[in-house]
Structure 1
Amino acid sequence: MTTLADPVPGGRPRDVGRARAQAKDLSTKGVHGVVLAYVDTAGICRVKTIPVSRLASASAWGVGMSPVFDTFLANDSIVSTDVLGSPDGDLRLYPDLDQVVALSAQPGWAWAPVDRITQEGARHPGCSRTFLRRIVTDAAQRHGIEFKAAFEVEWAVGQATAPGDTFVPGTTGPAYSATRQVELSDYTLELLTAFAEQGVDVDQIHPEYATGQFEISVGALDPVAAADRSVLVRQTIRAVSRRHGLRASFSPAVLAGSVGNGGHVHLSAWRDGSNLHAGGDRRYGMTAEAESFAAGVLAHLPALTAVTAPSPASHLRLRPSQWAGVFTAWGRETRETAVRVITGMTGRQDQEANLEVKPVDLAANPYLALGCLIAAGLDGLESAAALPEEITGDPARFGAEEAAARGVHRLPTSLAESVEEFRRDEVLRTALGPVLADAVIAVRQGEFEAVAGLDDERVAAAYRWTY
């Protein structure tokens, strides 16, 4: 479990002593530096690093950082809102001591996610990790509900020696093939070793569909820890890839016209240790609350795409009949619907039943994505929203009239359209708060304006190695 309390100037009780003990232990393991990681509004993991000897000081007083990073674009240009984007001000980064881990593939380094507070000791309203923690805490207090979540991580392996920013696959085997696994056997074995040493439980790692693509699935955790883990997993993949002369692309569209990289979210709601998605009297064992939660996610999906698929490259991936889930529809084990109901294996439903949300990629800030998905689901739960009829097969087969009758609608086909849906969604904007909601709008606008006039291949190239 992650720390669910806000940082305070001077440190929470026992934090400084604990940080000193951690620093001493890390030093005995040969660790000299600590990566302090956060994810900006554009979905880029930004870092500051400190000597391990400064960990106790960071836990007490934080590490300085400008608020301007909340309005960075993926290409490092800066946009602004009425609050964010100026050169003024300072924030303090506070490492979560529960999540400090020595990095197996980066000897001498440890890693920790951070929360950000103002110099006056208040929550920074633009901190996405703080936002997710608040959403989770409020759900527990208001509804007695806790969540488990996990992100799938897909990436394309390229040759690091390829000229410029081109993509040359690091493996030639077919999709899901033994050939691909054998060709990169040492690489994936080092990944498994690194994850084990870092305490990341891996469910599976395997070749995927697209050229040079792999996927890793990891165990579910509370939402804040799940978002942290997604960031750590990608940090590890990048480092191991470099050690093998490879390069990892997490971009939604590595190549235009090809199946891209997803970052599907698995999410389940629990009360008093019981999974609300199993053992109920509704469809496929869902409880009434689980159905309404799923209905809330479906209802807000058009606006959610501004958070879960936030890059111009995202819309190169969000194409029908490619298992990307581009229609407002749900189904049991239906991989073409935006929300896939997973019931789990017989005898394991009470542990495995969950919702998979498919129009999510790894350009998304995982804290924003999970927080907004939970806010959308809770809106459905609070209003006892009705889950519409199930859709089987590919929703793309429906004509316009039949699709409308079934309540099946195409998700936004551009980032500009997603932003307009987000502007109209009061539930999501209220959940985020005005500072963070305005940052989402400003950054998304900046992204689609930055690639205006580019064809699909040039858009894919612009974001190929960014995330």
Structure 2
Amino acid sequence: MQPTIDWLRDQDATRIKVGVTDIDGVLRTKYLSTEKVLSSLEKGFGFCNVIFGWDSQDALYPHQPDGGFADLTARIIPESRRNIPWESNLPLLLADFRDAKHPLAAACPRSLLIRIIEKAKNMGFTARFGPEFEWFTYRETPNSLAAKDFQNPEPLTPGMFGYSGLRTSEYADFHQDLFDQLADFKTAIEGLHTETGPGVMEAALVHQEALEAADRAVLFKQGVKSISYRHGLMASFMAKPSVHLPGCGGHLHQSLWRDEKNAFHDAKGKNQLSKTMRHYVAGQQTLLPYLMPLFAPNVNSYKRYVAGSWAATRANAGIDNRTVALRIIPGGKKGTRLETRVAGADINPYLAIAGALAAGLYGIEHELKLPAKLVQGSAYEQAIGLPLPQDLGAAAGAMKGWEGAGDLLGHEFVEHFVRTREWEWQQFLSSVTDWERRRYFELT
């Protein structure tokens, strides 16, 4: 606590940006005076509970547990301190609601992850994650895109040009700002390159312990969008912005460590994989069909899961195979890890990491076994593993119908989260799309 107090007093700033993450992974922030933050470090401060009572468009969910929308007590995270390079190094702190006593507080994504991490620690493990994200960059502003009714946004660069040295050179200042300012923002990336598609980028974040990895992932997405604004551009982490192009993944590299040793590695095991890792992967493979809303939280998320799209269509696993949901990477003592590829770029990082870790720990607890033969070659040509839900409605129904979800993630959280996903699905079903008008307007 004292280092953060000293840091705040050294900032010479009259205001601090403080942020909490809602159920959709949106960072909701407010400016507080430095004195207010200093007085709140011990006791917390009030943040309206509506942030868990509305959707990403600020529309209220029905059947609110608190129709008066009182304040929840937000707890400032001292170790989250950093400066925002694109806001004149304004100080920023994160907060969560782990100590709040209210039904809606159970929806706090960061608090859920803390509970799952605590379970891992009680089992003797430290979980480490290294997220990587793909996203589209457009020559648009929020105003220009709204004026076009979000139709036909102009990509930053043309054509399909993965790993392009030319495209990154063409916009060298922008890409250098991404690399340098994200590092200054304590969300350092290991690599940055163009992906297949017009204006598509991919970045891998430096792996960290699970909670820090999730904090950085939320701030990374915020940072990419903010830096893009500074260059007159817009970044979108939408899972499938175009039917004609591959979607955007939010892959999760992960491993468990015990006594500073990688618990996934066993020099004497098959493929040098430990029993712990095999149980962990089996846990995810078993539970993926029930936990998909954590990895694919939006209506659009499910349009990514088509054959040949670099996204899985079944709950399957394979050794160093990018067509499966769970890519097992034998990487020696330090690098052996699992890549959960089913997650999209539109994830709430706290929830996706919590879901992956909880499912893996479930597999260890129950000593679940992987199939004797993992997927080899193209997974799209083999019916191995259960099919994944094909839309958000089916995914929410599967999560709601699995009795173990509450035991795994907490009953209050699951009840609220499923309601939010059902709401999202109902908003889509009640809308009339351009596709429907083109298809049925004249001929029916």
Q: TM-score, normalising length from structure 1?
A: 0.86
Residue of structure 2 equivalent to 1:418 = 395
Counterparts of 2:333 and 2:55, CA distance in 1: 42
What is the CA–CA distance in structure 1 between the aligned matches of 2:342 and 2:111, rounded to whole Å? 24
Structure-1 residue corresponding to 2:157: 171
Which amino acid in 1 is paired with 2:276? E
How many residues align? The count is 428
* CA RMSD, Structure 1 to Structure 2 (Å): 2.3
1:458–1:264 distance in 2 versus 1, CA, 3 Å = farther
Residues 146 and 51 of structure 1: is their aligned pair in 2 closer, same or farther, counting only changes over 3 Å?
Answer: same
Q: Which residue of 2 aligns with 1:144?
A: 124
Deviation at 1:275, TM superposition (A): 0.7
Q: Of residues 107, 110, 121 in structure 1, which corresponds to 2:91? A: 110
* 1:70 correspondence with 2:52: yes
DSSP-derived class of the 1:313 partner: helix
Identify if the C-alpha distance between structure 1 residues 147 and 123 changes in structure 2 by more than 3 Å, giving closer, same or farther: farther
For the pair 1:320 / 2:307, whether they are aligned, the reply is yes
Show CA shifts across 1:74-117 (max 9, x none).
2221214574x633432122221111100112214222221115
Relative distance call for 1:87 and 1:60 in structure 2 (3 A) is same
- What are the equivalent positions in structure 2 for 1:211-290 lying under 5 Å apart? 211-290=198-277
Structure-1 separation of matches of 2:131 and 2:434:
27
Corresponding residue number in structure 1 for 2:136: 156
Q: What CA distance in whole angstroms lies between the structure 2 residues aligned with 1:67 and 1:369?
A: 22
- Asked if the contact 1:295/1:387 (under 8 Å) is kept, the reply is yes
Residue-by-residue CA offset, 1:388-421 (whole Å, 9 max, x unaligned):
12101222213xxxx2xx4x22211100110111
Give matches, 1:48-447, under 5 Å. 48-80=30-62, 83=65, 86-117=67-98, 124-141=105-122, 143-161=123-141, 162-163=144-145, 164=147, 165-166=150-151, 167-172=153-158, 174-176=160-162, 177-344=164-331, 349-388=332-371, 389-398=373-382, 403=383, 406=384, 408-447=385-424
CA contact (8 A) 1:173 1:180 kept: no
Q: Percent identity among equivalent residues?
A: 24
Q: C-alpha separation between the residues in 2 aligned to 1:248 and 1:33?
A: 27
Q: d(CA) in 2 for partners of 1:110 and 1:225?
A: 18
Deviations 1:183-204 (A, max 9, x none): 2211010111112323333210
Amino acid aligned to 1:106: E
Contact 1:303 1:422 in 2 (8 A): yes
Looking at structure 2, the residues matched to 77 and 106 of structure 1 have their Cα atoms a distance apart, in angstroms, of: 29
Identify which range, 293-302 or 56-65, moves more after superposition.
56-65
Q: 1:81 to 1:357 in 2, by over 3 A?
A: farther
d(CA) in 1 for partners of 2:126, 2:89:
36
Q: 1:212 to 1:63 in 2, by over 3 A?
A: same
Higher relative contact order (CA 8 A, sep 6+): 1
Aligned to 1:25: 10
CA distance in 2, matches of 1:416, 1:90: 31
Structure 2 stretches lacking a partner, 5+ long: 437-444
TM-aligned CA distance change 1:434 to 1:48, over 3 Å: farther
CA distance in 2, matches of 1:316, 1:50: 40
Counterpart CA distance in 1 for 2:434 and 2:386 is 27
Shift, 1:277, TM fit: 1.7
1:62 and 1:93 in contact (8 A); partners too: yes
